[in-house]
Structure 1
Amino acid sequence: MTVTDAVVRLAIILGFFLVVPLVVGQMEHKAMAHMQSRVGPMYAGAFHGWAQLVADGVKFAQKEDVVPAAADRRVFQLAPAVALIPYLVVLVAIPIGPGTQVGRDLDAGLFFVLAVMGVGVLGSLMAGWASANKYSLLGGIRSAAQLMAYELPMILAASSVAMAAGTLSLTGIAVAWHWYWLPWQLMGLFVFFVSGLAELQRPPFDMPVADSEIIFGAYTEYTGIRFALFLLAEYAGIVVLSLLTTVLYLGGWKGPFYLGLGAAGFGWFWTLAKTLVLAFLVIWLRVSYPRLREDQLQKLAWTTLIPLALAQIALTGILKVV
């Protein structure tokens, strides 16, 4: 790979990382405004509240950056970056299209992505511990417990896809994927997507930031740009989860029909379309379902998702042998 190719790929990844999470954030504002009759997001801007995202950015930029007197300043200030950077690193290994439309095609790309995604929760744990606030600490501990519970079914579900494809390379999995995989991988798709939502602490799995119990969890003491970075990390996590689900279970850049968009140069179109549909599903779940209790959240992982993931692996093994 030449220096020019490396720079171009890095620019594409950075552009994707900076633009798509903001698009998802704007989509969430509009979807919640329509589904829950929230009038605020519909008035910031002359046309359909187009400037809501800009207004949020200005609001966060002008807020005072407050660090509690009793906080561990260095850890407190580093936590937002630790929460955000893993998702930028992960995008390097997720293919957007066929051929060279990937930052780096790793032989063990699937395990690399899952491992780095797990690092993001350290940002919440650091924020909760460093804030010198009992509610923040409780939120951070809940984040860690949630990661431990849902990482296992997520990895098991992804292992089933790797077994079916015969490779751990994300590009290799997308190339090997066929539409007839979808019916017998539906159980794994359900387990993987639900586990991903729980790791991102998205509703209905947002117990670590349960405002009715612990104010806003690990992020209670954060203001201004640092708080905005945590929000950006959440939207970036939605994009990464949707991208990874697209590559593993929905064929990545492969479309159901061509219409001139199935050629190598337009594979990114199908990847982006599937990603945005899944991101909308994440938003819809937030609007539609109430928050689970902490005991219900743990019970779902250990008594439902893990057995389903193991059953999916057994089914995949049987079908591969047969």
Structure 2
Amino acid sequence: MMLFIEIVNYLVLIVCVLVGVAFVTLLERKILGYIQIRKGPNKVGYMGLLQPFSDALKLFTKEPTHSIVSNFLAYYLSPVFSLFISLFVWVVMPYKVGLLSFNLGVLFFLCCLSLSVYCVMIAGWSSNCKYSLLGGLRAVAQTISYEVSLALILLSFIMLIGGFNFELFNKYQEFIWFIVISLPLSLVWFSSCLAETNRTPFDFSEGESELVSGFNTEYSGGGFALIFMAEYASILFMSVLFVVLFLGSDPCSVAFYMKSVFVAFIFIWVRGTLPR
């Protein structure tokens, strides 16, 4: 019975993450609009609130297309697997009620991080397009490089708290946040997170000025939407993880979510400040 409750709770969490992804995309378009002295989406629904759902409906109702020379199975499975990993990694979040408690959550997170790069590489290779392949290879090189810094930072915290469970971070930050005692580490972590999620200024695998659109050049409709959702789910997860690691607070509190939104805002702010 408990396992059934945990599965239902996890499914509810996935739905909440997907809704959060929709509104993060809207938040990004609004913030970039105001940075560029324009309004952003404001026609669909009140103040453009229904714009993400309108975009999703448009993309998923488009006719799926693929190149004749592409590897059909890998081409369509890689976006699905990418979104699956981006949602599956949320099980490590230290929610105290109704969800699994991972004693090896840090290692599980690093495993999912390593797996996600294969989706990008296979998407680029299976498209059988030179631009997509170059984007995929760049993503592999970049992810392998910046995973080292993420792993070393996590290793230093593991030595500090004496465990691999993310729940321990809240316990050890009850009186002082880790960002106060390790500000340089937090800046390195945030920069590495930007690189891992292929965000500006580390968007080498999606460089529009060099690779058309990078590894997703040949994708349209549903496949493109799944890649897009996986990317923003990863951004949302990295924002929440930053709060867990450096701005410790109870995941059941309002302050936790306000901090997460603020970190997501900084992700977007960096993109608006450092245009390609």
Q: Under a length normalisation based on structure 2, what TM-score does the superposition of the two structures give?
A: 0.93
Structure 1 residues 109 and 40, CA gap change in structure 2 (3 angstroms): closer
Query: What secondary structure sits across from 1:107 in the alignment?
Result: coil
State how 1:238-257 maps to structure 2 within 5 Å: 238-253=235-250
Structure 1 residues 3 and 110, CA gap change in structure 2 (3 angstroms): closer
Query: What secondary structure sits across from 1:42 in the alignment?
Result: coil
1:282 maps to what in 2? 267
Q: Is the 1:238–1:279 Cα contact (8 Å) retained in structure 2?
A: yes
State how 1:1-322 maps to structure 2 within 5 Å: 2-45=2-45, 47-96=46-95, 99-100=96-97, 103-177=99-173, 178-179=175-176, 181-253=178-250, 267-291=252-276
Counterpart-to-counterpart distance in 1, 2:237 and 2:180: 23
Counterpart-to-counterpart distance in 2, 1:140 and 1:242: 24
Counterpart-to-counterpart distance in 2, 1:270 and 1:9: 21
Structure 1 residues 70-102: Cα deviation after superposition (integer angstroms, max 9, x where no partner): 000010011101211112111111124xx325x
Amino acid at match of 1:150: Y
Query: What secondary structure sits across from 1:67 in the alignment?
Result: coil
CA RMSD of aligned residues (A): 1.7
Counterpart-to-counterpart distance in 1, 2:171 and 2:11: 25
Counterpart-to-counterpart distance in 1, 2:43 and 2:150: 40
Which sections of structure 1, spanning at least 5 residues, go unmatched? 255-266, 292-322
Q: Is the 1:72–1:131 Cα contact (8 Å) retained in structure 2?
A: yes
Query: What secondary structure sits across from 1:204 in the alignment?
Result: coil
Counterpart-to-counterpart distance in 2, 1:164 and 1:275: 23
Q: Is the 2:34–2:40 Cα contact (8 Å) retained in structure 1?
A: no
Amino acid at match of 2:228: L
Q: Under a length normalisation based on structure 1, what TM-score does the superposition of the two structures give?
A: 0.81
Q: Is the 2:22–2:53 Cα contact (8 Å) retained in structure 1?
A: no
Counterpart-to-counterpart distance in 1, 2:274 and 2:262: 18
Structure 1 residues 158-179: Cα deviation after superposition (integer angstroms, max 9, x where no partner): 2222222121100122212241
- Report how many residues are paired: 275
Q: After superposing the two structures, state which structure 1 stretch, 226-235 or 2-11, moved more.
A: 2-11
Which 4+ residue blocks in structure 1 deviate beyond 6 angstroms? none
Structure 1 residues 192-213: Cα deviation after superposition (integer angstroms, max 9, x where no partner): 1111110110111111111111
**Cα deviation, residue 21, structure 1:** 1.3
Which sections of structure 2, spanning at least 5 residues, go unmatched? none
Query: What secondary structure sits across from 2:48 in the alignment?
Result: coil
Structure 1 residues 231 and 180, CA gap change in structure 2 (3 angstroms): closer
Counterpart-to-counterpart distance in 2, 1:7 and 1:224: 30
Amino acid at match of 1:93: V
**Cα deviation, residue 63, structure 1:** 2.0
**Cα deviation, residue 4, structure 1:** 4.5
**Cα deviation, residue 55, structure 1:** 2.4
**Cα deviation, residue 39, structure 1:** 4.5
Counterpart-to-counterpart distance in 2, 1:253 and 1:175: 9
